[in-house]
Amino acid sequence: MNKYRVMLVDDEEDVAQAIMKKMDWESMGYEVPKYAHNGIEALELAESTRPEVVMSDIKMPYMDGMELARNLKKLYPNIRIIFFSGFDEFEYAKEAIRLEAEEYILKPIDAGELQSVFKRVHESIDKEIDEKLNVAKLENYYMDSLPLLQEDFFSSLIEGRVEKDRIEGLLDNYRISLSGPCYLIALVHISSSSIPEGMNRVLLSMAVRKLIEERIDPQWKIKFFSYLGSTVMLCELTSEKEVALFTDECDKLCRLSESICKAVVTIGVGNVCSDLGDISTSYQGAREAVSYRVLYGSNKAINISEVSPRDTDSDETSEEDALRDVFKKIKMADESEVYEAACKYIDDSLAKQSSIQNYRFFVMDIVSELYRFAKNNQLDINEIIDKNIDIYNRVQQMEKSELSRYFGQICVKMHELIGHKRQDTTKGFVSKAVDYVHDHYDNQDLSIDFICNYLGVSSAYFSTVFKKETGKTFVGYLTDYRMDKAVKMLIETDEKTYVIAQQVGYSDPNYFSYVFKKQFGMSPSKYKSGKS
């Protein structure tokens, strides 16, 4: 039996002593009571003894029982109060009820009644403690289970299985803080064909995740979780403009993973969204970004908004997985694969049509999907389909083999246009970078980070496409251009070397001389005298 502490408070000490002697406290589950002569003394004693039960007279000097009860309830909300008094007044009883007193007993006190009161109070305290222990056990169990519950919630979120109006409540339940205002998903892909000898793929994945968690800059508020064997990062951004910087951070982590874990890692960065309910579209974008590694290479971060002219989920709305595969190949595969996939899709689909009506509905739907795909990827449909032809009517008149060839040709045409648009986008910002160098080569702060911030793209993507288009790294191109300008100034002017250094973007003349000598095999002054 649990033993609880009791305090008796009465200015009549003989009454209190009589109560203490009459009761068998140990058998009732209490320690021998402590005694206080008045309310002030009781408050002081309560601080050191912390009684569970206080039995107090009402009329006392200095501080009466009611005031004592109010003070005790403020300090110890769960304390049990029993009043006993020689006054049978309604106001006292009403105040006792307001103070949530356990009992209000009139003097003279009957021992049997008092024993019953203390027994009920003991049972009440036992019950409250049991309930608290059960709640504590549940809380401990809940806290132990919380990481799994959170992972399951994140998985449901990127699958689009959580209703938008339930997200806020679930975040509270699972104790997840996500304040946004912008979000995106980044997917960590580890190449299964480049696992170090003797290393298990699961262990390698865990090592990469741990490395990323430890090394990622704290400015990025990231929630890590696993999904289908891959590490997923849910990132909060303060604005959509931060996505380029975050992509560069991921690019750094890819190189770090290769250096430390010997893993070939690609991180796909999805689209930014302002509503957590739309985060599944960001996940789909991250998955597609990872698949672009066949074009841009591994060991880097790939941002879907940078590599695709415009990404939407419209090609995901079709119920046919095969059609989604065709549209994906239009964006990524080579011409022969696109044509083959398109023809196969038509052949397989037509084999399932059981009536001419179904056939007509199918071909009309195909045309609608082509129009939708072209629109969402900003393609001019008139470059794909002759505007003078009623395409809906024409395809319904085609035989199966003709429809298959026609659909294949349309898909190949779209593939070419997307390729051109991607090249135009790439050439567009490479051209802007080149123009900026020509106009601002004297800017001593000009660097790859500076130009990427100016263009609004990640340095990882910029570096790849700039070298692909120009055959040089950006730093190499900038250095060559500055050196060409320096040579011209050395030959055509009488300026000092340190002045020319500043005019072509070098704050340190010694470093300028070092770069110049590395480029031309001699110092600027020797070059000038030789030309003279």
Pairing mode of beta strands 34-36, 6-9: parallel
The one-letter amino acid code at 397 reads Q
Q: Alpha helix (H) ranges present in 351-399?
A: 356-376, 391-397
User: For residue range 204-213, what is the model confidence (pLDDT) as tens digits?
Assistant: 999 999 999 9
Question: What pLDDT is attached to residue 427?
Answer: 66
3-state SS, residue 190: strand
**Dist CA 472 CA 437 (whole Å):** 14
Domain boundaries, the chain: 6-130, 177-307, 315-423, 441-531
Pick the CATH number of 6-130 from 3.90.25.10, 1.10.3720.10, 3.40.50.2300, 1.10.10.10: 3.40.50.2300
- Show Cβ contacts of residue 190 under 8 Å, excluding neighbours closer than 6 positions: 201, 204, 205, 208, 230, 263, 264, 265
Looking at the chain, the number of H-run helices and the number of E-run strands are: 23, 10
Tell the residue number behind the tokens 């990323």, with chain if given: 212
- Specify the pLDDT at position 487: 93
- Residue 493, both tokens: 């002017």
- Using pLDDT thresholds of 50, 70 and 90, give the confidence band for residue 531: low
Q: Which pLDDT value is given to residue 4?
A: 94
* Average pLDDT value for residue range 433-449: 92
E strands, 92-159, in order = 103-106
Most confident option among 109-118, 348-357, 376-385, 396-405? 109-118
Annotate 232-244 with DSSP letters as a single string: EEEEEESSGGGHH
Examine the pLDDT at 321 and tell me if it is beyond 80. no
User: Given CA atoms 320, 321, 322, 325 in this order, what sign does their dihedral have?
Assistant: positive
Which class would CATH give 177-307? alpha beta
> Is the pLDDT confidence value at 369 over 60?
yes
| Per-residue confidence (pLDDT) for residue 532, from 0 to 100 | 57
pLDDT, tens digit, 9 for 90 and up, residues 277-316: 999 999 999 998 998 886 677 889 999 988 875 444 443 3
More confident residue, 58 or 131: 58
CB 147 within 8 A of CB 141: no
Residue 401 confidence class, pLDDT cut points 50, 70, 90: confident
Judged against a pLDDT cut of 50, whether residue 71 lies above it is answered with yes
Q: Are 51 and 25 in contact (CB under 8 A)?
A: no
Identify the pLDDT of residue 59: 86
C-alpha–C-alpha distance, residues 247 and 271, integer Å? 11
Lookup: tokens for 117: 């009161």
> Highest mean pLDDT range out of 104-108, 150-154, 307-311, 368-372?
150-154
Assign 354 a pLDDT band (cuts: 50, 70, 90).
low
Q: What percent of the chain clears pLDDT 90, i.e. is strictly above it?
A: 43
8 Å CB contact between 247 and 236: no
CATH 1.10.357.10 fits 441-531, yes or no: no
Rg, Å, the chain Cα set? 39
The residue behind tokens 């430390």 is 260
Place of tokens 């001389």: 513
Confidence tier at 215 by pLDDT (50, 70, 90): very high
Residue 492 has pLDDT above 50, yes or no: yes
Long-range contacts of 426-433 (CB under 8 A, 24+ apart): 426/465, 426/468, 426/469, 427/469, 429/455, 429/457, 429/462, 429/465, 430/465, 430/466, 430/469, 430/470, 433/462, 433/466, 433/474
Tokens 């008092």 locate to 114
Contact 57, 12 (CB under 8 A): yes
CA proximity to 379, closest of 415, 343, 428: 415
Alpha-carbon separation of residue 97 from 6, 442, 448 (angstroms): 20, 85, 76
Q: Is the pLDDT reported for residue 22 higher than 80?
A: yes
Instruction: Give the pLDDT mean for 408-427.
Output: 79
Report the amino acid identity of residue 379.
L
What is the residue-averaged pLDDT of the chain? 86
Three-state DSSP state, 2:
coil
Tokens coding 49 = 């003894």
CA distance 247 to 306: 10
Tell me what pLDDT residue 333 has: 75
For every residue of 42-74, DSSP letters joined together read HHHHHHHH--SEEEEESS-SSS-HHHHHHHHHH
Question: Which has the closest alpha carbon to 414: 468, 469, 357, 373?
Answer: 373
> Using 50, 70 and 90 to split pLDDT, how confident is the model at 513?
very high
Buried (b) or exposed (e) across 57-82, using 16+ Cβ within 10 A? Answer: bbebeebbbbebbebbeeeeeebbbb
**Average pLDDT, stretch 125-151?**
79
Task: Say if residue 181 is preceded by a cis peptide, omega within 30 of 0.
Answer: yes
Interatomic CA distance for residues 244 and 321, integer angstroms: 32
